Amino acid sequence: MSNKTLITKAKIVLLVIFLILGLTIYRFQKPQLVQENQFVLGTFGQIHLYTKSPKSGNKAINQAYQRIREIENSMSIIISDSDIYQLNENAGIKPIKVTQDTLNVIHKGLEYYELTKGAFNIGLGKISKLWGVNIETDNKIPPAIPKEEEILDAKKHIDLYQLEINNNELFIKDPKMSIDLGGIAKGYAVDEAVRTLEDLGIKSGFVNLGGDIFVLGSKPDGTAWQMGIQSPELGSSNVIVKIQLRNSSIVTSGDYQRYIEKDNKRYHHIIDPSTGYPAENELTSVTIISDTTIKGDSYSTAAFVMGLEKGLDFIENLENTEGIFLTKDKRIYASSGIRDEIELMDKEYKLFK
Ligand code: FAD
Ligand code: MG
């Protein structure tokens, strides 16, 4: 064997050794936490993930936020060139070409409208605008309580059959109707952010957009993510119940998240489409645990509107979906698939089985 061949062989052996060494070090390296918070969709966004390569972790987070902003730019009711803004502005006038994202969410909205028998209605934009609690403004004066005749009039213009879909064009036939995706698009954005992270190889982490959460896989040590449902009492960060989750979404809708107060009465942002008023019943929050965040977002809003008995019954009949209902008088009810997995943290609450 010539000297040259010997040197080449030695080089190859060395390279293989380095490669094996590198791979072994990588395998036994502990995943590191990479995280970033950003203000998106009018709320606090939080993405945490575990990765052995912080550089690619940061890149993945940036791409996930980019995806969220893309969705916000299509579906916001306050960004003037968004699909939804344009669609509402052109109600009764002309059809508007929309992005595939907007179409996806509209189709889901229509599906949930049927499934919830109208309790979830993306066509109630005129009512939510009247109440003015769906969007926070810098204006220090809270919006006034709308007059009854204004509500009754707006309630006449929430018929989703007035929305025409023609390929990627949408048209609202009723000039007085408008679309509000505030109860569904945040969930879609979480799912899309999660998909972006997964496509980039991320296996452990979570995305949280103002309480619409998806936990990806399990924690790096293989244990489940521990999630809590927060106390609905103002200013309290107490956790009422804890639950262990893997690869799942958890979303809460409550009467304490956005509201105005007048004469000791709380007018919150979850509207009962049958009355045009904020849904009023025994509930203070509904938490949905399911396989997609878009479902959780919509079903938590819908179940809140339905109230305890109907809401619990609705959730009980759905696949891959569980619910935890908190009442104003501190009772907790849960659907059968999750009842035994709840850990009660606040002894003032009573868990009904
Ligand atoms: P949920 O219970 O999930 O939803 C309540 C919201 O859904 C209401 O606010 C209303 O919009 C709608 N809704 C009420 N009743 C019903 C019903 N019966 N059926 C269907 N829908 C109903 N907020 C800002 O302050 N500034 C912003 O710039 C801003 N931009 C946003 C952009 C987008 C694309 C989205 C989706 C939301 C934006 N928001 C903004 C709103 C914001 O973050 C809301 O608080 C949030 O969407 C409501 O979510 P939730 O989980 O708190 O309540
Ligand atoms: Mg929601």
pLDDT reading at 17 higher than 70: no
Percent pLDDT > 70 in the chain is 88
pLDDT reading at 76 higher than 60: yes
- Give pLDDT, residue 213: 98
- Give pLDDT, residue 267: 76
Q: In which band, very low, low, confident or very high, does the pLDDT at 219 lie, cut at 50, 70 and 90?
A: very high
* Ligand 1 in reach of 43 Cβ (< 6 A): yes
Could you give the dihedral angle defined by the CA atoms of residues 239, 335, 133 and 215, in that order, rounded to the nearest 10 degrees? 60
Alpha carbon of 182 to those of 67, 84, 186, 208: distances in Å?
17, 11, 7, 16
Place of tokens 């579906």: 75
- Give pLDDT, residue 269: 86
- Contact between 192 and 294 under an 8 Å Cβ cutoff? The reply is no
Cα separation, 38 vs 60, in Å, equals 14
* Ligand 1 in reach of 98 Cβ (< 6 A): no
- Give pLDDT, residue 105: 98
Beta bridge partners of 35: 48
pLDDT reading at 128 higher than 60: yes
Residue 243's Cβ-count burial label (10 Å; 0-12, 13-18, 19+) is buried
Residues with CB under 5 A from ligand 2 (ion): 253, 297, 300
**Tell me: the pLDDT tens digits for 326-352?**
999 999 999 999 999 999 999 999 998
Q: Would you give the DSSP letter of residue 245?
A: E
Q: Closest-lying ligand to the alpha carbon of 188? A: 1
Q: Calculate how far, in angstroms, residue 321's C-alpha sits from the geometric centre of ligand 2.
A: 14
- Give pLDDT, residue 233: 77
Q: For ligand 1, pick from 74, 108, 135, 209 the residue to mutate: most ligand atoms within 8 Å of CB.
A: 135
Average pLDDT of the residues of the chain: 91
Cα separation, 267 vs 258, in Å, equals 9
pLDDT reading at 168 higher than 90: yes
Q: In which band, very low, low, confident or very high, does the pLDDT at 30 lie, cut at 50, 70 and 90?
A: confident
pLDDT reading at 14 higher than 70: no
Alpha carbon of 8 to those of 12, 16, 208: distances in Å?
6, 12, 53
What are the tokens at 85? 């803004």
- Give pLDDT, residue 87: 98
- Contact between 148 and 67 under an 8 Å Cβ cutoff? The reply is no
CA atoms within 13 A on the CB side of 165: 15
Q: In which band, very low, low, confident or very high, does the pLDDT at 66 lie, cut at 50, 70 and 90?
A: very high
Beta bridge partners of 71: none
| 4, containing H or E segment | helix 3-28
pLDDT reading at 45 higher than 70: yes
**Tell me: the pLDDT tens digits for 261-298?**
776 777 788 999 999 999 999 999 999 999 999 999 99
Q: Name which of 190, 162, 192, 164 is nearest 177 in CA terms.
A: 162
Beta bridge partners of 283: 327
- The residue-averaged pLDDT of 204-219 equals 97
pLDDT reading at 323 higher than 60: yes
Cα separation, 108 vs 111, in Å, equals 5
Q: Calculate how far, in angstroms, residue 181's C-alpha sits from the geometric centre of ligand 1.
A: 7
Cα separation, 132 vs 122, in Å, equals 16
Contacts for 217 with CB less than 8 Å, ≥ 6 apart: 203, 204, 205, 246, 247
**Tell me: the pLDDT tens digits for 86-104?**
999 999 999 999 999 999 9
| Cα 41-43-46 angle, rounded to 5 deg | 100
Contacts for 2 with CB less than 8 Å, ≥ 6 apart: none
Q: In which band, very low, low, confident or very high, does the pLDDT at 44 lie, cut at 50, 70 and 90?
A: very high
Cα separation, 134 vs 279, in Å, equals 14
Cα separation, 79 vs 324, in Å, equals 34
Q: In which band, very low, low, confident or very high, does the pLDDT at 1 lie, cut at 50, 70 and 90?
A: low
pLDDT reading at 53 higher than 60: yes
pLDDT reading at 220 higher than 90: yes
Cα separation, 193 vs 206, in Å, equals 10
Q: In which band, very low, low, confident or very high, does the pLDDT at 6 lie, cut at 50, 70 and 90?
A: low
Other Cβ atoms less than 10 A from the Cβ of 52: the count is 15
Q: Closest-lying ligand to the alpha carbon of 268? A: 1
230 vs 180: which has the higher pLDDT: 180
pLDDT reading at 175 higher than 90: yes
- Contact between 126 and 177 under an 8 Å Cβ cutoff? The reply is yes
- Give pLDDT, residue 236: 74
- Give pLDDT, residue 29: 73
